[in-house]
Chains A and B, each alone.
Chain A
Amino acid sequence: MADAQQISLTIEGRQVSVAPGTTILEAAKQAGVLVPHYCYHPGLPSPSSCRMCLVEVEKAPKLQPACVTAVGEGQVVHVFSEKALEQRKGVLEFLLINHPLDCPICDKSGECELQDYVYREGPARGRLHDPKRFNPAEDFGGDVLYVTNRCIMCTRCVRFMDSVAEDTVLNVSERGDRAVIGVFEGKGLTHEWAGNVIDICPVGALLSKDFLNKARSWELDRTPSICPNCSQGCNAIFETRDNQVVRMRPRSNTEVNQYYLCDSGRLDYRWMNRTDRIEAPLVRRGDRLAAADWDEALRAAALHLNGKRAFVLASPMLSNESLWMLSRLVEKTGGKGAFRVRRGPEAPLPGAPDLALRAERAANVRGAELFGFTKTDAPLAGMADGDVLVIADHDLAEADVAELARASAVIVIGTVLPEAARQAIVVFPSTNMAEEEGTFTNIRGRVQRYQQARSGPGMSQPVWWAVGDLLTFLGEGAGHYSASETFDALAAARPEFTGMSYETIGLKGQLMAGSSEPAGTAG
């Protein structure tokens, strides 16, 4: 439908129509053209200072900065004309003269925007015959290391801390070519969301101390996923090397986390690489647990569950698929289920709509509650004496230990065998969320997919897979053998998920029926 308000212009020969007030740079994105830039970032106010985005606009006397110039009706814009290319080459040359060119030892190598544009459009040789400027590196606090010599003064980091984190701890100090990014002594980047400056830095000037020298960017496999460490459900990318998760980075989603991840979330991935895992199904033989195959373990578990009620302690970190299957087990046996969730202080990111490190530090509290699990600080209080306790990857607190004795038997389906549950009769090895695919439901009711980033150890399987087979052994018919199928069955059975599928959820997620996100979240 042609909107009379739209402005039409031509960018690199492509016609595009956009709302008045749109910048040439954003209009170009819609036309499928990327205007090279550094200081511009869609989440930040634009200073137009890097001068990379200068484009040729026919009939305009000078090149125009695309990031702040509004579109005009009938404009003809050239991003790759000779004039524009020459100007950009000049900017790149200026940026390189004092740059240490230490790509061989720089973590950013391979994902560096200076490398990218210089390779494509930069000068082949430098013309500097004078000594380069030198400044020592600085620890900015938090996870952030500032390598001053690589800085191109785009000031994205300063603007992020100022306008998005609303914690103005970074400044530009000095003037001219002496300018550097600075902090005030004693007041560094301790803000919960400060680590984002590392992501938005286009070059290797701001580095993660956690990731320092761990891996080269081209050695990494990248998997779209969800950060599981609180109920916000920020979209993330899990980066792995040799089957180890080595870094979590934000994946942009304007409905959830804009372009950001919090530090508590992103730096808490080591548990995904734990090696003290349950690797095979175990059954009790006398006073010890011995490895068995799945069938034997399932048979043993079904035997103990026969005629008994199952009380399921279900971790709020489990997927919708796993929790739903567990709820079917509860239903089948006439039992109950509960969970405890770890809490911490909420830490909002003020400049982003409805974004915070949430108090509930688990990915799927909403899902757990939806499928009938009671949220309580004393989850085992609801277990009746003689119930079969099924611990589905849930931690055991000291207070829980005493209660275990009341269960007639303990079955563990999990990643790690808790010390206190060593009396279990059957143990099934499960994958953690990095080792499987599935969905979480976030605090706002948004169902989001996560994908498999590494392979799980030994004979581990997702919880929904194990429970599906267990139900088969309990007479329920065949289980499901893909997460997607499991989800489809879930969606058919639960009204909140009606019409949803992995296809409709895609990579941006989908709101459950009856849910809404607060006004201000980009629609």
Chain B
Amino acid sequence: MGYPHKPHPRETPILSRHFGDAEARTLDGWKKRGGYRALEKALGMTPEEIINEIKESGLRGRGGAGFPTGMKWSFMKHGDGKPHYLCVNADESEPGTFKDREIMRWTPHALVEGAAIGAYAIGAETAYIYIRGEFTEPLRMMGAAVKEAYAAGVIGRNAMGTGKRVDVYVHKGAGAYICGEETALMNSLEGKRGNPRPKPPFPAVAGLFAMPTTINNVETLTAVPHILNEGPAWYKAMSHSSPKSTGSKLFSVCGNIARPGNYEVEMGFPFKDFLYDVCGGPPPGRRFKAVIPGGSSVPIQTMEEAEATLMDYEGFIAQGSMLGSGGVIVFDDSQCMVKQIARLARFYAHESCAQCTQCREGTAWTTRILERIERGQGTMEDLDTLLSLSKQMTGTTICVLSDSCATPIVSGISKFRDEFEAHITGKRCPMGATAAA
């Protein structure tokens, strides 16, 4: 639902059904709303059966990568005698994205249930929920929910009386966007600097504490109980464009738009209707100019591209961007694209872990150039330099933070070149936007 707004009739509230409902946060309240039936069912199935259901449903990772979840789970070799781990990636830090936060603070038990099922399916007896340090309320809610679940015997040494063990720990992050990268998350959990690791080795082979590990996003895991309850066919049916994209997706909508908030729609929903109808269109007296549909690391779309998009993984790619995390950032015609792109570059420069040369130096350098252009002190040569540096920063590093910094720069210069040139030739921001502090 477009919490805090009432759900729009064209939404499909599944994960978001109980947003705003305080009672849903308690164990009893959650059970009353159908909670923990799926976990009980799962504990009576074999891990292989569960994985097959998830594979069949077409569920893909909702954190940004879109990797098929069933397949990811199947990479964990059972019976290898090693401790397996499930890491829940609740580090939500991608600008524009705020859906996992809502899931955790309104339906914490949904995540406990999803994580427990996921852990069981991959042969893990321990699940860590890595929540970014700034998420005070989700930390509190998840902590309370885990405590309740232990007290009721839902999880623990004897989950639901089946003799199977599922331990869930909440682990608090300390302020680093890069810890949302799965290998950096593992390093951070191990008590290290949040540096991403080169792959191979892949987490399913050697991950947390060098043991087989699966990392899943919050939203992905909360879809799992629904799939087990309603069956994979039900989930697969929620697919109105590409058959490779199924189910519902929470889109976080923010920026210059009438009704920002989280909205849950089925895969393949027309983006134009979404922006103008479901989310209420632009603020009064304004027109949309650009939209970043999947969190700041995906290419910027022109309104022409956006309005032609059908909202699924393949649909966004077809219109010059990606679905990513589903964080929809909308810019109206009062915004300066140069300023916003400069600010995004500054974000990446702040968050770079410092391992790879291109990222460490490139995120900072491109930020300086962009800020200089914004101040009216740029040259045409700077645009060539930006594009050249962006090329150097793409496909060359351990993780994709560097690529993510390059993306808004490349798509920005490509699709809004006139704004950059106006700053350069006019030696000032044509929108009169104030320079960076």
Contact = CB atoms under 8 A, between A and B. Distances in A.
Interface string B354-396: 1111101111110011001000000001100100010010011
A336 interface: no
A177 B360 contact: yes
Q: Interface range on chain B: under 10, 10 to 19, 20 to 34, or 35 or more?
A: 20 to 34
Contacts of B352: 175-177
A90 interface: yes
A97 B389 CA distance: 12
B354 A175 contact: yes
A130 B349 contact: no
A94 B392 contact: yes
Nearest to B382: A129
Contacts, number: 89
A62 interface: yes
Interface of chain B, helix or strand or loop or mixed?
helix
A153 interface: yes
A174 B364 CA distance: 14
Interface centre among B362, B385, B392, B397 (most CB of A within 10 A): B392
A97 B361 CA distance: 8
A242 to B, nearest CB: 39
Interface string A247-289: 0000000000000000000000000000000000000000000
B392 A177 contact: no
B327 to A, nearest CB: 22
Interface of A is mostly: loop
A33 B289 CA distance: 53
B353 interface: yes
A62 B364 contact: no
Contact of B351 (A52, A94, A174, A175): A175
Contact of A51 (B195, B363, B396): B396
Nearest to B176: A175
Contact of A91 (B355, B358, B372, B382): B358
Contacts of B351: 175-176
A343 to B, nearest CB: 41
Contact of B361 (A54, A95, A129, A175): A95
Contacts of B382: 129
B196 to A, nearest CB: 10
Given A54-B396, A90-B392, A94-B365, A179 B360 contact: yes
B198 interface: yes
Pick the most buried of B195, B353, B361, B372: most chain A CB atoms within 10 A of its CB.
B361
A278 B433 CA distance: 82
B395 A98 contact: no
B396 A95 contact: no
10 contacts: A47-B195, A48-B398, A50-B357, A51-B396, A90-B389, A90-B392, A94-B365, A152-B357, A177-B361, A177-B363
Given A51-B358, A153-B354, A153-B360, 14 more contacts: A47-B198, A49-B398, A50-B357, A51-B356, A51-B397, A54-B396, A87-B396, A91-B358, A172-B193, A175-B354, A176-B350, A176-B353, A177-B360, A179-B360
Q: Which 6 A-B pairs have the closest CB atoms?
A: A179-B354, A90-B392, A49-B355, A177-B364, A94-B361, A176-B352
